[in-house]
Structure 1
């Protein structure tokens, strides 16, 4: 019996220790817990039911120092000891906490974890994490700071750690995971058309493009993946457009090489041009082949130039004009109505500043960007006419471009009544980006659609998109005529001044709900070059996106 008592005594006095600070907190936390939950409430056998007694024992009000440090210690001690279920039970969401804490060792491969609390700040306790990340034959130390907050459980008054994934690591959002392993794909070394390396240091706006190249060609370019600890995003973070994040690189991968069509000189010029304006994007390509020579965004976090989905405004009139010419509903040099207003489908459409052109030609209406000249033809059109024109002639809206990186391929949905009429002038449901609109000008310049591409299809044998038909010689000549007239005498004239040779252009302004100024658009060609740009919330396209596009056309020589 004496021996058994001594064993029992040793067990009962053995502390859970993760450092002197935690050990001291355990003692204080234990005393506080006993006073609150073990012996602080006496049952009233004569006047209270069991339920009433439980209600009276629920503590409310501000947390004491002992409650905060006690709850923090229970959680940190169990986490450090590798007991995720016990640690999770000390939080407000045991299910979510257990899942993430279990993955801390199983998925993230974190070993020898040491958690050191800092000085309590009210209900908040900061702490430092030191651990070793181990995977295969490689390992590295990891140190970071985090914090937890203690709250009172509404049900029983018990102090618990308020659960959030950020408690485990500050870069985690709820639903995210920590994973250590081979980086998703091997790195790639991207080259320009002359063999020089493309880097974000040299070309900041290429960050999303380089990410896209790694995603597409990392495993095909001959590289090997490195090993890293990273945050793998959950659904909530993905909806917020957050990407996976590398926290620690254990070993570097070996990059493969992929060559692009980008021109180093023109890419540098594109970067300079968009840097001068907020929310500007531009694309320059070669009409005869579809090769993309430059792409830049002043906000490099998202590739609006390739993946944006914006109403293109009056630049859409290039496509609409080609359709009206084919259907004999307009002719470049013939009289065409341009009234102040035109009502269709219950909507009253008007021109900028409510102007009108009396006795003018369609060319004059195109050059001045008369909305009603196009809307007035809506009653003579079928709902699907514009959609078919965009798909069949310009290769848009088919979701089948194989550029080499992710792109949005434009959208011209079939619409009715007022929405169909609005689509004729690039509003309604029509959505484009600079890559799409540069391709539109390229199709007019070359006479047929050539799908734009950043990486030659010869690299991986992929099939480029095609259009089912081309414009007739007569229709093509008229579209080129009205675009050339606009570049020389219309709304694009100021921006295109000094751009010589075989040129054509179209401006656009797209209204956006809740935005004081419209998005400014501009698309143009010069010889075997075509470009388009947008400046969001910039105002009229001729004075915002126009100079950016014109500068690139000039720089190309």
Structure 2
């Protein structure tokens, strides 16, 4: 019989003994790895919740230390666990995203094998190298000066201007005086006394409770003379980004203030509570450009307030936003609209465009707009100002200025009766020239020529004059619409600027500018964002000359003869009145009043939401602007 080798038998026994030991080692590795994975998953959520800790109280201490950084995303990854019996270490790779920049570093976590699982011996240095339990993390974040909004002449439009912050300094009065002083201060600055008292009493004992911010030079308008004598009353001098006046292009520009929760949430981490940001208008749209990025330093601060910089990044200065607004024309337009009255006045707007360049020189809104930007976004029926578009479509259909057309007192289309305005002159009724029909704004003459206008021709003519174009202008704006009419009655109404035709004051100023320039104008407000027109049928030199002649005839013989006395180069114009809404008990409709005009290298549209007529209501406003400029 063969004899077993003692050496061979011993080897087999050794293998049998080693197998259980290897299995145990793999299980422990997996358990340690599981603990490391749980740790990195928790840390990536700025917490130690869910991590196995030898000392559970470490989670609360970590929560306090990491708190200043919880607004920044972090990803924590772990290497393999290096075991040494029932202990181990694992290298953690930290990657923070700090407002677009990365902060990376490594730390080491220590693990021990507990009775049921592996656990983490957490210490502050596992969070940040060399951090101690007495250290705190601070984030220093500072923006440079906010960039200005400027005009093309380089003059600031929105810039840092001196203000006074009026309020109550609780630190200098007795607690039992707070309520009475708060009410007196509120009364002095025009606020609700009871509401401000509640705010003041709920503020900290050393707080300055702000009531109102007043720009320098406007104190007498908003603050009563007895403010200074109120116990605890205080004015803190400061600066804020402001336009030249409280109302200057307010609806277009917007304003700067402390970031709202909505602004913080929408910024994807770029904006923090307490930041000064644009909260409306262009100041909000281009906030990141104007604001720049802050310089950031992340520091460890010990119990003696000694600081150690952990990471830092330089900020980027904000860049100016250059607008084409002319401060003089904008201010004049706003002053003119102020003559219509305050908040109870009808909605109104004046837009001025430079025909040679397309620059928007003014986009003024009246107080009756209730804060809405009617000037560039308010779409309304343009009434007879739209007849300039209709005239172009008819010119292209072969109608000449001296062609004889019929202007009856009324005209029926599919059962609907169209009439001329109540103030239409009897002398211009009957057979008249096409030029006279435009000059006096004969509705029935143009409607009678509707069969000369092919399908789509009116929309094409509008596009040639810049109306209805879909162009991203970089600011809130609309250039109106000219939809295909649904039926003969709507087609007739469209020809006189009713129906479903809509235009903004910006759009009608663009129509006038295109006629004056002899080419399609794209209105631009941002100096570095000049759009290019691409109409399906470009405006020709002869067409522009004919339209200029028609606008001049409105002044020399038609509905805007009151503009004939404007000095300087000849003025061209077109009046417009558009009915809207439901009729009153007498069957009369409310009317929008429009006026467009050209005066040299200036094209203007005036709109008043509720007026008598274009000539009577909007006309004097246009005349006033032309007289000033």
Contact 1:457 1:463 in 2 (8 A): no
What is the TM-score normalised by the length of structure 2? 0.51
Once the two structures are overlaid, the 10-residue window that deviates more, 482-491 or 514-523, is 514-523
In the alignment, which of 490, 510, 523 is matched to residue 596 of structure 2?
523
**Aligned pair in 2 of structure 1 residues 387, 269: CA closer, same or farther (>3 Å)?**
same
C-alpha distance in 1 between matches for 2:358 and 2:244: 27
Give the aligned partner of residue 360 of structure 2: 292
Give the aligned partner of residue 534 of structure 2: 466
Give the aligned partner of residue 86 of structure 1: none
Give the aligned partner of residue 245 of structure 2: 202
Alignment of 1:38-437 (within 5 A): 189-198=148-157, 199-200=242-243, 202=245, 204-211=247-254, 212-221=281-290, 223-224=292-293, 256-277=319-340, 278=345, 279-298=347-366, 299=369, 301-328=371-398, 330-353=399-422, 357-391=429-463, 393-402=464-473, 404-415=474-485, 416-437=487-508
**Aligned pair in 2 of structure 1 residues 375, 203: CA closer, same or farther (>3 Å)?**
farther
Shift of 1:367: 1.2
User: Secondary structure at the residue paired with 1:518?
Assistant: strand
Give the aligned partner of residue 236 of structure 2: none
User: Secondary structure at the residue paired with 2:620?
Assistant: helix
Whether 1:441 and 2:512 are equivalent positions in the alignment is yes
Give the aligned partner of residue 625 of structure 2: 552
CA offsets 1:139-166 (integer angstroms, 9 cap, x no match): xxxxxxxxxxxxxxxxxxxxxxxxxxxx
Shift of 1:495: 4.0
Shift of 1:375: 0.5
Shift of 1:280: 1.8
Contact 1:189 1:258 in 2 (8 A): yes
User: Secondary structure at the residue paired with 1:523?
Assistant: strand
Give the aligned partner of residue 513 of structure 1: 581
C-alpha distance in 1 between matches for 2:247 and 2:284: 18
C-alpha distance in 1 between matches for 2:582 and 2:389: 27
Shift of 1:423: 0.5
C-alpha distance in 2 between matches for 1:524 and 1:257: 33
CA offsets 1:77-104 (integer angstroms, 9 cap, x no match): xxxxxxxxxxxxxxxxxxxxxxxxxxxx
Shift of 1:489: 1.9
Contact 1:341 1:349 in 2 (8 A): yes
**Aligned pair in 2 of structure 1 residues 225, 410: CA closer, same or farther (>3 Å)?**
farther
Shift of 1:264: 1.6
Give the aligned partner of residue 616 of structure 2: 543
CA offsets 1:24-81 (integer angstroms, 9 cap, x no match): xxxxxxxxxxxxxxxxxxxxxxxxxxxxxxxxxxxxxxxxxxxxxxxxxxxxxxxxxx
**Aligned pair in 2 of structure 1 residues 219, 188: CA closer, same or farther (>3 Å)?**
same
Shift of 1:446: 0.9
Contact 1:204 1:300 in 2 (8 A): no
C-alpha distance in 2 between matches for 1:412 and 1:495: 29
CA offsets 1:470-529 (integer angstroms, 9 cap, x no match): 333333222111110111221111145324313210000010114753111000101111
Give the aligned partner of residue 271 of structure 2: none
Shift of 1:275: 0.8
**Aligned pair in 2 of structure 1 residues 323, 499: CA closer, same or farther (>3 Å)?**
farther
Give the aligned partner of residue 607 of structure 2: 534
What is the TM-score normalised by the length of structure 1? 0.58
Give the aligned partner of residue 569 of structure 2: 501
Structure showing the higher strand proportion among its residues: 2
C-alpha distance in 2 between matches for 1:546 and 1:553: 11
Shift of 1:542: 1.1
Once the two structures are overlaid, the 10-residue window that deviates more, 464-473 or 316-325, is 464-473
Give the aligned partner of residue 546 of structure 2: 478
C-alpha distance in 2 between matches for 1:191 and 1:203: 17
Contact 2:289 2:320 in 1 (8 A): no
**Aligned pair in 2 of structure 1 residues 528, 463: CA closer, same or farther (>3 Å)?**
closer
CA offsets 1:260-310 (integer angstroms, 9 cap, x no match): 111121111111111111322001111010011111111361110100110
**Aligned pair in 2 of structure 1 residues 197, 347: CA closer, same or farther (>3 Å)?**
same
C-alpha distance in 1 between matches for 2:294 and 2:557: 56
C-alpha distance in 2 between matches for 1:303 and 1:327: 37
Shift of 1:430: 0.5
C-alpha distance in 2 between matches for 1:257 and 1:421: 48
Contact 2:397 2:453 in 1 (8 A): no
Shift of 1:411: 0.4
C-alpha distance in 2 between matches for 1:496 and 1:405: 35
User: Secondary structure at the residue paired with 1:321?
Assistant: helix
User: Secondary structure at the residue paired with 2:406?
Assistant: coil
Give the aligned partner of residue 250 of structure 1: none
C-alpha distance in 2 between matches for 1:303 and 1:218: 19
